[in-house]
Amino acid sequence: MGTKRHQTTNAVYQFLWNYQQEHGYAPTQQEIAEECFLAQSSVSRHLDKLAKWGWLIREEGRARSIQLLKTPPSAEKSDKNIG
């Protein structure tokens, strides 16, 4: 059961990364919920988990305050394939 949750958390992080690369700022929790097919309360739990893992920081109560601290593995692979 834990593996599925980690997959979902990783999918949330990948969405965050892609969204910030495309738009230049973080998505709202509503946008994350819609894109990842999650309830907003689940999004909050996944963001808390990512913060605990040291992958992001965010300012509670402030919209679009997510700051990503790590490059997702899929982005690292695509960067290596470019050169």
pLDDT for res 83? 41
CATH number at residue 20: 1.10.10.10
What domain count does the chain have? 1
Residue 80: predicted pLDDT: 46
Task: Please tell me the predicted confidence (pLDDT) of residue 76.
Answer: 61
For residue 34, give its domain range. Answer: 2-82
Query: Is the CB of residue 56 less than 8 Å from the CB of residue 66?
Result: yes
Read off the DSSP letter of residue 25: S
Ordered per-residue pLDDT tens for the chain, 83 residues:
457 778 999 999 999 999 999 999 999 999 999 999 999 999 999 999 999 999 999 988 888 999 999 998 776 655 444 44
Helix residue spans in the chain (DSSP H): 2-23, 29-36, 40-52, 73-82
